Amino acid sequence: MQITILGGGGFLGRKLAARLAQDGALGDEAITGLTLFDLQAPPAMEAPFPVRCLGGDVADPAQVAAAIPAGTRVVVHLAAVVSAQAEADYDLGLKVNLHGTLAVIEACRRLSAAPRVVFTSSVASFGGGQEARLEDDARQVPGNSYGAEKAAAELLLQDASRRGMLDAVSIRLPTVIVRPGRPNKAASSFVSAILREPLLGLSTELPVPEEFAVWICSPRRAIDWFLHAMTMDTAPLGPDRGINPPGRSATVGLMLSALESVAGPEARALVKHAPDPAIEAIVGGWPASFTAERARRLLGFSEQESLEEIIQGFIEDDLAATRAERGL
């Protein structure tokens, strides 16, 4: 089975690639080749199958077609310009998040068999804010360009699925914590930083109040969801290919308590309150909770770990690498 990961050099793309290399198979089928595509060619990796690493522009149909060669069975489309960046640079967001998805559709429809496409949409494609607990049939009224582009891309992938050009599963990812590495340009970057930085012994700023709630998931669970979406039966989805996966709604205060229980009060003390209305305006527009009934009961997406387990998972999987990457 041939697989392509677009955005294969990013945080989740690398984790997914490593997991595929470790398993050597997807479901009960051996993986025969993997293509990793990103703006910069991802570094070569060890795997029991050939791995091609390509650098290119996801909005360029020819380059995307080269990354999705004949025989590709699964495309995982993670390539995106994140929320604060898409808000700051409208043209770039539109290019990558909308035209990039159009290029993926174009490449997939040229294949002789419609491939599974796993697309990462986002909680940011909804409005609703702190008070919201959204049902599965909630209307997407995004309050930011990133979310609007993701919701539009979902519609186009859904239509391409209906037409038999591809077979899409769009997972609206919660805010993923704990992200390794450095802070990034996502407006939600702080949600990881308030856990990661103290675990590195560094102080960090909290731009929202402690009662602020966020819909979150762990990297481990995100990878489990991708693997499930890569092989699941899509018939039960019906015409609506968008899925609100079973994340967890947690206040920042609860996250900091979990940090304290894992790493002690000195870790928590490294988090300083520094209100930032611009950040709160973006992240505060995203819904803080979803029922996620369809994903839970009908579609078999796995549940979240506890906050303590999520922090422990970061320590086990990513703390040493983050320390090394940042020269700490």
- Whichever of 97 and 188 has its CB closer to a second copy, that residue is 97
How far is 54 from 74, CA to CA, in rounded Å?
Answer: 17
8 Å CB contact between 163 and 114: no
* Catalytic residue, candidates 11, 119, 146, 290: 146
How far is 67 from 58, CA to CA, in rounded Å?
Answer: 9
DSSP string across 18-79: HHHHHH-EETTEE--EEEEEESSPPPP---SS-EEEEE--TT-HHHHHHHS-TTEEEEEE--
What is the contact surface with a second copy in residues (CB under 8 A)? 90, 94, 98, 102, 127, 137-145, 148-149, 151-152, 155-156, 158-159, 162-163, 239-240
How far is 134 from 141, CA to CA, in rounded Å?
Answer: 12
Shortest CB 232 distance to a second copy, Å:
19
Q: State the amino acid at position 137 in one-letter form.
A: D
Judge residue 224's burial from the number of C-beta atoms within 10 Å of its C-beta, 0-12 exposed, 13-18 middle, 19 or more buried: middle
Q: Does the annotation mark 90 as catalytic?
A: no
- Whichever of 286 and 314 has its CB closer to a second copy, that residue is 286
Shortest CB 149 distance to a second copy, Å:
8
Shortest CB 164 distance to a second copy, Å:
11
Shortest CB 145 distance to a second copy, Å:
5
Shortest CB 167 distance to a second copy, Å:
16
CA–CA distance from 119 to each of 4, 148, 156, 211, 328 (Å)?
A: 12, 15, 11, 31, 34
Judge residue 63's burial from the number of C-beta atoms within 10 Å of its C-beta, 0-12 exposed, 13-18 middle, 19 or more buried: middle
The strand pair at 116-122 and 271-273 is best described as unpaired
Shortest CB 86 distance to a second copy, Å:
10
How far is 180 from 222, CA to CA, in rounded Å?
Answer: 14
CA-closest candidate to residue 77, choices 49, 93, 98: 98
How far is 226 from 223, CA to CA, in rounded Å?
Answer: 5
- Whichever of 104 and 222 has its CB closer to a second copy, that residue is 104
- Whichever of 142 and 246 has its CB closer to a second copy, that residue is 142
How far is 281 from 285, CA to CA, in rounded Å?
Answer: 6
Catalytic residues: 146
